[in-house]
Amino acid sequence: MAKAFAVMLLLFNALGLNTGIKLDGNGYTDILVAINPAVPQNENIINQIKAMITSGSEYLLMAMDNKVFIKDVKILVPPNWSGSYEKARRETYDKANIIIDSPHPAYRDEPYVKQMKGCGEESEYIHFTPNFLLNDNLLNAYGPRGKVFVHEWAHLRWGVFDEYNEKEPFYFSQNQQIQPTRCSTQVSGHWFEIINGHATLCRYDDTWLPTKECQFFPDKDQKTSASVMYMPSLDSVTAFCHEGDHNIEAPNTQNQKCDNKATRTVIFQHSVDKDALQTLKPLQSAPPAPKFTVIQRRSRVVCLILDVSGSMQGQRILRLQQAATIFLREIVEEGAYVGIVKFSTSADIISSLTKIEGYARESLISKLPDTASGSTNMCTGLKLGFEVLQQDDKSAVGDDVIFLTDGEATDDIQSCLKSAVNSGAIINTIAMGLSASNVLVTMANQTDGKFIVADENLISNQLVDAFSSFTMSDGDLTKLTIQLVSTGSSTTGWFNGTVPIDRTVGNSTTFTIIYERSAPTVSIHAPSGSAYDQTRMTHNAATKTLTLNIPGTAEPGDWRYSFFNTESTAQAMTLTITSRAARDDVPPVMVKAQMNQLASDGSKPMVVFAEVSQNHVPVLGAKVMATLQSDTGYSEDLFLLDNGAGADNFKNDGIYSRYFAKLISGRYSLKVRVIPQEGAIRGSHNRNSGALYVPGYIVDGKVQLNPQKPPVSVQSADVGRFIRTATGESFVVNVPKGVTTKFPPAKITDLRAKIQVDTIFLSWTAPGEDFDFGTVESYDIRWSKHLKTILYNFRNATPVNTSALHPQEATLDEQFSFLPEVAIKNGTTLFFAIQSQDKQALKSEVSNIAQVTKFVPSPKPPEISEPPLKLIISIVTIACAVAILACIIATITVWALKRKKAVKESGGA
């Protein structure tokens, strides 16, 4: 096994990765923009994309010291757009870095980035709407498109965060002044409420901070050049905040997520490009404009290349038939073209490319191989598979391969890799069993395919899950087959359960039962009481499957199933349920699963992510479990959390996550299940990363208002009971011999502070002995009146006596209160942080910094409606003029009196 891993890592180093954005010299390449099929065809959208990125490239070059620019961009148009476009290679909608889609239900036309990982890590994608690209009326509020693009690019590529905070737009600074949440503090302006179209002075709450109706209006003319991540709409802003002008006090996301570091520091010292950015030399002349290629992907073309060598005999060839049957019958899209190749010592075409329509699915299923013999000649199988893919247009470019094997190659695998990469096909690989070649990992990575580990155990249903995960979307989720259930059991009697089918799915609903030896007695009951038994199911005795296709749209509600094992001894049975959207205009609830990395040497924990959403809107309160199973037999179940602590970056964003810290060498499968329960809701979560909507500007002493920001149109709604299953790409753990994977407690990221009279109340989510598992030994809590002390010299801050604090188990809520030993004056701001320690004296990173200001409110003056800003300025100007005139008169009077006195004294002498 160790030798196999070494070979795999050698191949990684030799060939590198072929996925995602690349920095080629000073230019970024392989950027993919994808347009959703819901967007009506409009060639001006393509023109505007080009214009935005071209101007963005110029702005990016300026903001990054002439070091980087945008070099190469592909624009993927939907298959339903007519016209002559280049054929897409390995570009697919779900791999896009930038998507052009209908307005978000909650954010409308606001540009934003789906940013689910930590500081310095690449994000998922940028979302722009057609209206943002085409409607110039939005530019005053957000800024020029090119500058907005760079703001979002910094989120996407470098993992920095916003330097504003719409929830906390104002704060008390350390010197007890009210400040707008901004970076840098050199951005000048005033804050007002807008009432009936007029600017009035802000009202204040009980802590004398401005009320939520108060907004900051920047001066249109500024002297500062920072910062892109605060307000790119300002003409003067051409730079990212550096440490010299960074506002470390502001309660914005950048400070909260990046330990109060400036955005420029994160980009140059912590991002994926940090090494290149520190060594790249600035360009001495202007680079060329970005190169754009408009591409299109039409019908899916896929070839199954299946290993039928001798080691596949028995249960493995049967599992192959069962899983491939579900793929051909339920998963592959209508209108796609499918071919099948088998290989062992030699290779044969089982089926040429066949369009999926009518009886084609069953015809292909009937041709699946059922016998195995010979050796494992991978290159022969791949070569013949590429020939099948070329049958439609004499090219395999952009086509899809599902390549399954359970053994090591007996031929020249290097030549196989080169030809596979050069083919232009997307190669998805399945490693079945411990002996399956590790080159499958590299082949999938090099061709933008998926690598999946599967065993032959029937109950695990892994091979069915693997084939079920090979969907390809053009962005229209209503066309996708969704796996609701994948479960198994070994029993001597009944195998029972309840499956909720929610209102977002129901079409093409299929129940597939796979049994070990003999067909069970089946009873399936719809919510209304309608019953289905084996007489209404399709039975294939050769592949040991029973299939029930629910006619029309399946009833929403709880479906009950009961399978009875008629044999006297236990036998294994599995149930797989798939379905599609109930309506073309209602996207279904979806689940996506992934790891934060696909290879680990055990030096740091990995993170499991599962996104639960409907049409980009998060589903909150779901119960999500991830199962990680190694091909060596080790397995772990993790309940994923959306609590904004530990591995979870943002609370209530529909991204559920957890650390995977018990790293043992092996190749792991990833399966995520949403377990039915009451209380899950479709939330109206605020976006975490996106350009700021500016309410207006101050120009020549007047407030110029932008159009009012549209209100959020999505309200929280009960989504009802639902169930989903998703299979993520497999990943590899290779811990060197002798290396332990003992980790410290996770960093606390959600520390909060309150003060009542003189008592401090702290709360946070408990970390664990190993990141977020177990219980820490102790907490070290410290505070200071000076932010820089707690930020840069934690050990020099004032310690708190925590002898009465008994740590809770990881993920539970911690609460602690204490009375500082020194008196705290009214108006004083205090800063707090925590470091936890485990039984081996390993310490966590210092937590986020929580701050609180002691404030004893005085009676509030009566609220007075103030005049518009122009009149305020006029009044102030007149008052100043009167004061100056009074001073002049007083000065002249004093001078005259002194003069008169001097004359008298002179005459009297």
Taking only the tens place, the pLDDT of each residue in 151-198 is: 999 999 999 999 999 999 999 888 888 999 999 999 999 999 999 888
Q: CA 612 to CA 624: how far, in whole Å?
A: 9
Instruction: Please tell me the predicted confidence (pLDDT) of residue 904.
Output: 46
Q: CA 347 to CA 379: how far, in whole Å?
A: 9
Instruction: Please tell me the predicted confidence (pLDDT) of residue 713.
Output: 62
CB neighbours of residue 425 within 10 Å: 29
Is pLDDT above 70 for 889? no
Instruction: Please tell me the predicted confidence (pLDDT) of residue 824.
Output: 87
614's CB contacts (< 8 A; 6+ apart) are 504, 587, 588, 589, 590, 682, 719
Residues of the chain within CATH 3.40.50.410 domain(s) are 299-458+465-470
- Quote the tokens at residue 884: 């100056």
In this structure, the chain runs to a length of 909
The partner residues of 355 in beta bridges, in order of sequence, read 337
- More confidently predicted of 110 and 413: 110
| Dihedral in degrees, nearest 10, Cα atoms 846, 848, 849, 851 | -140
Instruction: Please tell me the predicted confidence (pLDDT) of residue 872.
Output: 42
How does DSSP assign 21-37, residue by residue? -EEETTEEE-EEEEE-T
Q: What percent of the chain has pLDDT over 90?
A: 82
Q: What percent of the chain has pLDDT over 70?
A: 91
Is pLDDT above 90 for 305? yes
This prediction has a pTM of 0.91
**152 has catalytic annotation:** yes
- Quote the tokens at residue 287: 């680079």
Instruction: Please tell me the predicted confidence (pLDDT) of residue 863.
Output: 39
Confidence band for 97, pLDDT divided at 50, 70 and 90: very high
Q: CA 872 to CA 867: how far, in whole Å?
A: 6
Whole-number CA gyration radius for the chain: 32
Instruction: Please tell me the predicted confidence (pLDDT) of residue 711.
Output: 74
629's CB contacts (< 8 A; 6+ apart) are 460, 462, 635, 636, 668, 669, 671
Contact 733, 665 (CB under 8 A): yes
Paired sense of beta strands 69-70 and 27-29, if any = parallel
Q: Which amino acid is at 712?
A: V
Q: CA 468 to CA 326: how far, in whole Å?
A: 7
Fold designation for 752-854: Immunoglobulin-like (2.60.40)
Instruction: Please tell me the predicted confidence (pLDDT) of residue 207.
Output: 79
Q: What share of the chain is helix, strand, coil (3-state, %, to 5)?
A: 20, 30, 45
Confidence band for 860, pLDDT divided at 50, 70 and 90: low
Q: CA 791 to CA 768: how far, in whole Å?
A: 23
Instruction: Please tell me the predicted confidence (pLDDT) of residue 882.
Output: 34
125-133 mean pLDDT: 97
Q: Which CATH superfamily is domain 299-458+465-470 in?
A: von Willebrand factor, type A domain (3.40.50.410)
- Write the pLDDT tens digit of every residue in 621-678: 999 999 999 999 999 999 999 999 999 999 999 999 999 999 999 999 999 999 999 8
- Write the pLDDT tens digit of every residue in 752-804: 999 998 899 999 999 999 999 999 999 999 999 999 999 999 999 999 999 99
Contact 706, 233 (CB under 8 A): no
Of 40-49, 368-377, 692-701, 872-881, the one with minimum mean pLDDT is 872-881
E-only strand ranges, 143-300: 170-172, 178-180, 189-195, 198-201, 215-218, 291-296
How does DSSP assign 466-513, residue by residue? HHHT----SS-GGGS-EEEEEEEEEESSEEEEEEEE-TTEEEEEEEEE
How does DSSP assign 70-107, residue by residue? E-EEEEEE-TTS-S--EEPSS--GGG-SEEE-SPBTTT
> Mean of the per-residue pLDDT values for the chain?
91
Confidence band for 104, pLDDT divided at 50, 70 and 90: confident
Query: Which among 629, 687, 613 has a CA at the least distance from the CA of 162?
Result: 687
- Write the pLDDT tens digit of every residue in 736-756: 988 878 899 999 999 999 999
CA distances (Å), origin 578, targets 488, 509, 652, 753, 879: 15, 6, 28, 47, 76
| CB crowding 894-908: b at 16 or more within 10 Å, else e | eeeeeeeeeeeeeee
Instruction: Please tell me the predicted confidence (pLDDT) of residue 686.
Output: 66
Q: Which amino acid is at 508?
A: S
| CB crowding 311-320: b at 16 or more within 10 Å, else e | bbeeebbbbb
Query: H or E stretch including 761?
Result: strand 759-765
Is pLDDT above 90 for 683? no
Is pLDDT above 50 for 876? no
Instruction: Please tell me the predicted confidence (pLDDT) of residue 888.
Output: 45
How does DSSP assign 282-304, residue by residue? PPSSPPPPPEEEEEE--S-EEEE
849's CB contacts (< 8 A; 6+ apart) are 260, 751, 787, 790, 791, 831, 832, 833
Is pLDDT above 70 for 403? yes
Q: Which amino acid is at 83?
A: G
- Write the pLDDT tens digit of every residue in 308-346: 999 999 999 999 999 999 999 999 999 999 999 999 999
Confidence band for 413, pLDDT divided at 50, 70 and 90: confident
- Write the pLDDT tens digit of every residue in 241-273: 999 999 999 999 999 999 999 999 999 999 999
Question: Which of these is catalytic: 91, 152, 193, 330?
Answer: 152
Query: Which among 690, 689, 693, 702 has a CA at the least distance from the CA of 138?
Result: 693
CA distances (Å), origin 775, targets 643, 652, 737, 748: 18, 24, 28, 13
Nearest-5° Cα angle at 53, 47 to 59: 140
Is pLDDT above 50 for 437? yes
Instruction: Please tell me the predicted confidence (pLDDT) of residue 709.
Output: 84
Query: Which among 760, 765, 781 has a CA at the least distance from the CA of 829?
Result: 760
Residues of the chain within CATH 2.60.40.10 domain(s) are 590-684+715-733, 752-854
- Write the pLDDT tens digit of every residue in 471-514: 999 999 999 999 999 999 999 999 999 999 999 999 999 999 99
Confidence band for 858, pLDDT divided at 50, 70 and 90: low
CATH number 3.40.50.620 is the correct assignment for the domain at 590-684+715-733: no
Q: CA 464 to CA 458: how far, in whole Å?
A: 9
